[in-house]
Structure 1
């Protein structure tokens, strides 16, 4: 079956191996979760059910894989043609995944988007909740919205919050804070960090007490590895950030280029360098960054595993010469590993050519300058070099292995509450 609007490969998820099933049973500390979900019916112990905005059934299943293999979600409606674009992961936090699903027949105007919160370990098993829509003029977008999970006396809950630049007609430099809280109340939910990976971080208490104004704090990111670098494009292709333990960790990947000897006025990739920094997560000072590790030249990377060396994508010239690993190939998207064992592991994507249907996810130990793993990644659903996956700790919250069946067919909930919004010019305003 072919559904207009979907990549054909979106209907055929990658098969899970015996190692993937074993990884789910081990509760691995984190996974790499693909940005685009697959539109396919899969059922296992992670499956959760809900309804669309029109009342039709929908289900989501999580398919974990051990990094550097990429995990993914499968979304299914009985009428598969109801989903006319790939469902997209907007954000994750611990057991929560915020997911957007475009609903409607192919000839309908695109824009009927449902947002769901998938929770891996709800009180009665995995759950899927249809969220209310943001106020008119605002959209749940990965670049603006995030999740903050927290614990209450009656269990786990979450906040969805987004910091939007002002709409047309409002002064420049003003922002609107849109907040959805699953539970009523606030004042003790904590702080969210809104990150511009080119520049810095805005820390914001998204649920202050009613009699208190919203306070924002700005922390600048470390200086770029390359001086005078033009800060443009999708910063996620070069930078990543995460909270690991009690520290905020940041990585930058810088690809080296040299002039092509074949094509005039063209440049070819010539290896890469990368560095990580960290700081206390609670610190609000911009001078708190500490450089942890740096690889100046990827040619110095140790590759002790012969299989990994063979798997690494390599390029040959017209004379049949094979370039060393990471030369003449496209590299992008560093993602920090979330292990709390003090290791400094990053993952990134490598492709021989930008238009190739397949790429590779490579894992590297920055501290020991060592290649740790290589895995094939089906990247045909991403045009050229593009952001394709994110780190997530959802794997440690799975209650049972994917291969088992559970009594999970309870209907998900549809939440009636609305988003609230507050405006600011770096102070912030409210909307219900």
Structure 2
């Protein structure tokens, strides 16, 4: 039997609301939408560029369960590609929907901004002939002085490096593409230059990967503030910060911490860095959070000759290290926002180690009613040695929480006498505790793919007897980072939105 086409993915059932399903505001969101006619009080309708009616519905679940969107559009054929989530900010989601069967050019996609609170679906102009790079595209939720809401979409694209003579690298140039919903200009573009190439000095690349670009965006983060600060993250080496709404936007380069020893060889084979790294912004928008996981062993094959530091390893022509895999560990870092770009403050000192590293052997099982995993997974955990089970798992794609020390990791489990399946594990890295476990949709393949992202789409909303109400404290704090004034609902008036999963 041939595998089903993507349009035949069946939306998985989600548990009924327990009154606190999304109270924290944070959800794990599947990038790829389901094609289904499921309606609840989050459903919004719009029209594609080809004049076809389209319907979008959000279905929320408490992590580690994964939330998702459903798209219903009988006039479109989704056999070759499906709608996907590009980026999120506040209660806004940027969706990309294929509207032509070829899917070969940027004009074959429609871009929609979905608003949960307003239940709106806005079609924005196609940036054609520019093709937006999904990881380098960011959405900014804004409000003007009169209280009118608007948003901006910004995307970064690298150009060729600029040399002096034949070999002296002078600078790197980038294109900024910007669309503002409150402007009639449509998409505009600007050239930005970066001359202080900090990461080449602090985190040089091995000779074997010197053809890698100076910056390759793996994800984009909306920080907000008056200038509309954006962080474009290259998970190998650094972050480019920019106030995209300023008249003359400027790029600032901040390197990431030096790679962990267990990941040096991964540079040589150029694995996708999202497999073992993640960067996000904290709940109150006052810090950037970074995590790195690594396959870990206390010994190298040749401990007496192993390089003492990353720079020495690169200098020694990137000699390959053989690391005996004996579990994994995770290290987290934080950076205070806003970043001080004054020349007197070395950028390599921006990062502060938050946790020195949680080793898998220190992780214990501690589930409670709010984080309990399904009974079949719980039975499996209780009947096994948790440490040995976790040690044997290949953890991938860490997703660091915005509001606490929880890290979500994806793995494959193949219990005895059972079929293999993929799971999301919620681990508190500050306490070394496994808080929860959830099975992923068996119709899809999530391992080693960047298909699950964190979102604060429910930040303003808390479920009270099935009614979505704003969370007064967090909504006000969150809005400060977006230049948004509190709405009437955030000041205490209940919302009429009722979510039914």
For the criterion TM > 0.5, the same-fold answer is yes
Aligned to 2:471: none
What is the number of residues matched between the two proteins? 376
Cα distance change on mapping 1:267 and 1:177 into 2, 3 Å: same
Cα distance change on mapping 1:398 and 1:47 into 2, 3 Å: farther
Distance 2:226 2:367 in 1: 49
Distance 1:327 1:3 in 2: 33
CA contact (8 A) 1:192 1:205 kept: yes
CA contact (8 A) 1:165 1:176 kept: yes
Cα distance change on mapping 1:27 and 1:296 into 2, 3 Å: closer
The match for 2:332 among 267, 273, 276 is: 276
Aligned to 2:255: 220
CA contact (8 A) 1:337 1:346 kept: yes
Aligned to 2:348: 286
Cα distance change on mapping 1:80 and 1:3 into 2, 3 Å: farther
- After TM superposition, the score normalised by the length of structure 2 is 0.67
2:28 corresponds to 1:22: no
SS of residue in 2 equivalent to 1:104: coil
2:307 corresponds to 1:311: no
Cα distance change on mapping 1:321 and 1:4 into 2, 3 Å: closer
Aligned to 2:430: 367
How far does residue 141 in structure 1 lie from its aligned partner after superposition? 2.7
- After TM superposition, the score normalised by the length of structure 1 is 0.77
The match for 1:300 among 351, 362, 384 is: 362
Cα distance change on mapping 1:304 and 1:400 into 2, 3 Å: closer
Alignment of 1:13-412 (within 5 A): 13-19=11-17, 22-23=19-20, 27-79=23-75, 81=77, 84-105=80-101, 108=102, 110-111=104-105, 112-122=108-118, 126-136=119-129, 138-152=130-144, 153-166=146-159, 173-184=172-183, 188-209=226-247, 213-226=248-261, 228-231=264-267, 232-244=270-282, 245=284, 246-256=286-296, 270-283=326-339, 284=341, 285-305=347-367, 311=377, 324-339=388-403, 343-352=404-413, 358-382=421-445, 384-398=447-461
Identify the structure with the greater helix proportion. Answer: 2
- Structure with higher RCO (Cα < 8 A, 6+ apart): 1
Aligned to 1:424: none
CA contact (8 A) 2:160 2:172 kept: no
SS of residue in 1 equivalent to 2:388: coil
Distance 2:64 2:91 in 1: 20
How far does residue 45 in structure 1 lie from its aligned partner after superposition? 0.8
How far does residue 303 in structure 1 lie from its aligned partner after superposition? 1.3
CA-based RMSD of the aligned residues comes to: 3.7
Q: Which runs of 5+ in 1 are unaligned?
A: 260-265, 406-432
Distance 2:76 2:256 in 1: 44
CA contact (8 A) 1:313 1:360 kept: no
SS of residue in 1 equivalent to 2:327: strand
Distance 2:275 2:379 in 1: 19
Distance 1:363 1:337 in 2: 10
Cα distance change on mapping 1:369 and 1:337 into 2, 3 Å: same
How far does residue 385 in structure 1 lie from its aligned partner after superposition? 2.4
